[in-house]
Amino acid sequence: MPVVEIDKCKVRLGKRGTGEASQPTFLLDRLEVDRAEAVALTGPSGCGKTTLLNLVAALLKPDSGRIEVAGVRVDELAAAEGDRFRRENLGFVYQTFNLLAPFTALQNVLIGMRFGRGVPPHLRTSRAVELMERVGLSHRLSHRPDQLSVGEQQRVAIARALGSKPPILLADEPTANLDPVASRAVTELLLSLWREISCTLLIVTHDPIIASMLPRSFDCSDLLRQE
């Protein structure tokens, strides 16, 4: 059964009323992602990969079409409903990590868990420590982001994203700021955790080596058109 189902989705991305002859438009006829599947969203920079991820996350609404994620019509959600949907269903790993500089690695994971409902408050510290151990950073719990390497920061970001046990994990170019060795290590970590947790995983990447590590790829190269 699909956990992500998109039908005839259209999003006008250009600024309305500019008088330009044509505007970029995102067009996706059909996409299904099954529960616990891992998919690489591939294609060159600017082809619509992040737009697709934002549609799945209910951060962007289509002008037309149907988007169902985890049994919810996310294209119909109001702003507050979208916030609640993300808290209950999604984990995010960003290209720029988005860690909070004044706080330790462990505190960053714990802060991320406040926004989800997957773990009761009295179990959050043990869950955060367990995740930090799982990503190989049990010796870095009290270090702040500026005391960590780039690869270590991304591992903290992964632990934070999985803190509330989300059924769906979205990763937007998670290896873009890493060297090839660290990129492979982070991708292998994500896939290992995906297998253990059985969440649905969508990874945006323009790196064919990273894409080849996932069981399935979806080519986003033709999603943007000029209209």
Assign 223 to helix, strand or coil: coil
Tens digits of residue pLDDT in 67-111? 999 999 999 999 999 999 999 999 999 988 899 999 999 999 999
The structure tokens listed for 30 are 């059909």
Cβ atoms of 163 and 124 within 8 Å: the answer is: yes
Cβ atoms of 120 and 134 within 8 Å: the answer is: no
The whole-angstrom separation of Cα 127 and Cα 117 is 13
List strands edge to edge, sheet with 24-34.
72-73, 64-69, 2-12, 24-34, 224-226
Tens digits of residue pLDDT in 165-217? 999 999 999 999 899 999 999 999 999 999 998 999 999 999 999 999 999 99
Cβ atoms of 110 and 125 within 8 Å: the answer is: yes
Q: Exposure of 4 by Cβ count < 10 A (0-12 exposed, 13-18 middle, 19+ buried)? A: buried
The pLDDT of residue 117: 74
Strands 64-69 and 168-172: unpaired
Question: In the predicted model, what is the mean pLDDT of residues 33-57?
Answer: 95
The pLDDT of residue 14: 73
The pLDDT of residue 226: 80
The pLDDT of residue 114: 86
The whole-angstrom separation of Cα 96 and Cα 177 is 8
Overall CATH class of domain 2-13+23-226: alpha beta
The structure tokens listed for 90 are 């999604």
Instruction: Report which of residues 1 and 209 the model is more confident about.
Output: 209
Cβ atoms of 84 and 130 within 8 Å: the answer is: no
The structure tokens listed for 70 are 């985890």
The pLDDT of residue 19: 55
